Structure 1
Amino acid sequence: MTEIEKYTESVTVVDHHCHNVLDQQGFELPLSFILSEANSLDNPIFLNQLKSTLTFKRSIKDLYHFYFENIPLQVESNNNYDTIIEQLIANKRRELGMENIMKMVFEKSKIEAIILDDSLKFVYNQIEFPIKSNQWHNKFTKIFKILRLETILEKSLIECKKQQMSFMSWKNYIEKKVRDPIESGIDTEDGVRVVGFKSIVAYRTGLKVENPSIQKVMEEFNAIMSSIELNDISGTQLRIASKTLIDFFIHITMGVCSASTKPLPLQIHTGFGDSDLNMENSNPLLLKQLIETYPTVPIVLLHCSYPYTKEAGFLGWVYPNVYVDIGLAFPLLSYQGMKSTFDQLLELTPIDKIMFSSDTHHVPEFYYLAVKYSKQIISKAFSKSIKNNEITLNEAKEFIDKIFKLNVLKLYNL
């Protein structure tokens, strides 16, 4: 192990984008499902096919070593190797329980703070699995949160229907929903400090965010208000896929942020995801107009924008307000995939604009896998840069500190 690899192992981590883990039921989800973005729970053949990915083969070995020491020879030579390993892991998880696993994960991964997006839900057969609360996560590390724009928008439309608001009243209402956490720094629902916003517009209507006329927005607003039925108000859930309203609300948010002396960053899902996503519409180059319209508002391109990583790196190179994160790509790509993806980022992207995240969702071990491979790949990349006389050892250490912690602290004013 080189000196920079040893140093990287020792650094503490701030995870700037992750989700609340599921309650104990998360342990019942197959690992092949957890280690992919596929909607595959009802398809046992496909679940089995996912076990043939390099990511799955590597990760179950990693998870075994997280819980145990060496894999017994009789297991390694068994034709049902994967099944045996999965069962041993499942048994150990149940034995330890969620809280002990979280403690192990955060201690081994040296995570000292996380920024949660608590809007991600897991629904199977129309049943929503319970997630652990923000306060529960706070038992293991410092927590902050970002607010998802689409969730704010959907809740605002339900509230608007309840109160029979006019269009202008609703517009003022959503502006206040954005302005309040910027000014107070606190989410009034749970008291957690708010440090940014997030959009999943790539999933809904694509990254080419337009600026619709107020007349068009009013017409769309009235049509949606007419379509909302509040038979069971407390249980009403709304999923908005209106390009007009989503784009309008993104511009509202960016406008409010840009008027602030310290605008909160906007995280945007870019690149790959699950089957709801149209990949053609998740290329970060489509954000060019939005980036240029609000030059003082930081925009964080999530997930390396994979497979549009070079495009993301270019945007971070030419626009002062664009940043790139490495979550989800680490650890869901193959080893070579993670290596080549990070190498592509290094081609142009300033190190000051690259940030670690895990994009952990559903189960706590995702934190561990993301930290393990991010540290391994990034330290090896900088070892090579040292050998190539691009950087010194001290510069490499500085870069490691920035990617895993300092860039996040600075951007989110933590």
Structure 2
Amino acid sequence: MGTVHEALDALRLVDHHCHGTVTGPCDRAAFESLLTEGEAWPGISSFDSPAGVAVRRHCAPLLDLPRHAPAEEYLARRSALGEPEVRQRFLRASGTDVFCVDTGYTPVPLTTPGEIAEAAGGTSYEVVRLEGVAEAVLAAGTEPDAYADAFRTAALDAVRRPGVVAVKSVAAYRTGFGLDPARPSDAEVTEAARGMLARGGRLDDPVLVRHLLWTAVDLGLPLQLHTGFGDAAIRLHRVDPALLTDWLHLTAGTIPVLLLHCWPHQRQAAFLAAVFERVYLDVGLTLHHVGPARSGAILAEALEITPFRKLLYSSDAYGVPEFYHLGALAFRRGLADLLQRRVDADELSLPDALRIARWTGRENALRVYGLAEDG
């Protein structure tokens, strides 16, 4: 039957939330800016962070370099190989064959879902970011009293594109979750749209964000929600998923809600997954930021009370393809260590552990998104 480590090493993963990677050359400044969620600061290198150290340790060998290769050598080798070759090496090494790609954040040109699938030798699907849809409707000069219908129509058109399997909201970045959970009235939406049209900018009006979340319910597809850890725009105390509790009560029994990343609120997310039938979670980008050395601790907290059919795998890889490989490696090692310890302590049978590994790494995502087993 083998060990849990052997089973997870062989399992073809489903990455239920990720992004494209840069398409052009990546110099040191650009690469370091993508290694962490923080800015580049004078005298402080992103290579001297847990993520940077993990990249030099676990990614260098895939570029034919020794483990812990110096940053200068790592970047020189990357440049010599070129982004297409680097992308293919890391995507194939991740052992992932299904990708659900958020296409809504492209401050620089990124690979498309199709290009990700080609590099990995797998299959990609699209996740539509609803804030981008709403902002396009507002930018088109829609009248305030027509905004609600225009947004709904645009969102329906977006999710009907071939290959779309889910929608996503970044309400965490725009307002946080301390919102009135009720569906806003038509009058409230019209007045909020009038204000947004007057001042422009990103969708950050609380009423319009509430309207967006309720529109997601109406669309009927799984909804991904960024929670927890992010860049400096996040107010961490406002993105605790527990703040969604009243809204989850109101929307219970409708759509799957997938809480992304969660750190440091993975225990609150686990509670929600334990008490709401249609709530799921991952620990996403947390894994490549803490690296394989700490991934088991994060997963252990996420799985303290989470039903085993409720935890999914995602890399949240963005910008650099190293994070596809590093996220998968940290997930496999962390989960295998956790499950194997429970087997060795006779707290879990080996068949149960192997089933949990398959569910978490692959089958839970296939079921939630309604994907065929062959991808």
Q: What residue in structure 1 maps to residue 177 of structure 2?
A: 207
Q: CA deviation at 1:215?
A: 2.7
The structure 2 residue matched to 1:96, chosen from 81, 84, 109, is 81
In structure 2, C-alpha distance between the alignment counterparts of 1:224 and 1:269, rounded to whole Å: 23
Q: What residue in structure 2 maps to residue 233 of structure 1?
A: none
For structure 1, the 5+ residue unaligned runs are: 72-81, 123-128, 229-237, 258-262
Q: Is the 8 A contact 1:301 1:322 kept in 2?
A: yes
Instruction: Indicate the percent of aligned positions where both proteins have the same amino acid.
Output: 23
In structure 1, C-alpha distance between the alignment counterparts of 2:109 and 2:242, rounded to whole Å: 36
Q: Is the 8 A contact 2:343 2:350 kept in 1?
A: yes
Q: Is the 8 A contact 1:175 1:253 kept in 2?
A: no
For structure 2, the 5+ residue unaligned runs are: none
In structure 2, C-alpha distance between the alignment counterparts of 1:241 and 1:363, rounded to whole Å: 28
Residues 61 and 337 (structure 1), Cα distance of their counterparts in 2 relative to 1, 3 Å cut: closer
Q: What residue in structure 1 maps to residue 51 of structure 2?
A: 55
Kindly provide the CA deviation profile for residues 354-375 of structure 1, in whole angstroms up to 9, marking residues without a partner as x: 0000000011111000011110
Q: Greater CA radius of gyration, 1 or 2? A: 1
Q: What residue in structure 2 maps to residue 135 of structure 1?
A: 114
Q: Is the 8 A contact 1:358 1:367 kept in 2?
A: yes
Give the CA RMSD over aligned residues.
2.0
Query: Is 1:354 matched up with 2:335?
Result: no
The structure 2 residue matched to 1:170, chosen from 147, 156, 160, is 147
Q: TM-score, normalised by structure 2?
A: 0.91
Query: Is 1:379 matched up with 2:347?
Result: no
Q: Is the 8 A contact 2:14 2:98 kept in 1?
A: yes
Q: Is the 8 A contact 1:27 1:363 kept in 2?
A: no
Which amino acid in the other structure matches residue 111 of structure 2?
K
Q: What residue in structure 1 maps to residue 196 of structure 2?
A: 224
Which amino acid in the other structure matches residue 117 of structure 2?
N
In structure 2, C-alpha distance between the alignment counterparts of 1:25 and 1:61, rounded to whole Å: 22
Q: Is the 8 A contact 2:55 2:322 kept in 1?
A: no
Larger deviation: 386-395 or 307-316? 386-395
SS at match of 2:309: helix
Q: TM-score, normalised by structure 1?
A: 0.83
Q: Is the 8 A contact 1:63 1:89 kept in 2?
A: no
Larger deviation: 327-336 or 10-19? 327-336
In structure 2, C-alpha distance between the alignment counterparts of 1:270 and 1:166, rounded to whole Å: 30
In structure 2, C-alpha distance between the alignment counterparts of 1:226 and 1:4, rounded to whole Å: 57
Q: What residue in structure 2 maps to residue 157 of structure 1?
A: 138
Query: Is 1:246 matched up with 2:206?
Result: no
Q: What residue in structure 1 maps to residue 223 of structure 2?
A: 266
In structure 1, C-alpha distance between the alignment counterparts of 2:15 and 2:27, rounded to whole Å: 22
Q: CA deviation at 1:70?
A: 3.6
SS at match of 1:24: coil
The structure 2 residue matched to 1:297, chosen from 243, 250, 255, is 255
In structure 1, C-alpha distance between the alignment counterparts of 2:292 and 2:137, rounded to whole Å: 43
Q: CA deviation at 1:311?
A: 0.5
Q: What residue in structure 2 maps to residue 76 of structure 1?
A: none
Q: CA deviation at 1:44?
A: 2.3
The structure 1 residue matched to 2:99, chosen from 100, 114, 129, is 114
User: How many positions carry a matched residue from both structures?
Assistant: 365
Q: CA deviation at 1:52?
A: 3.6
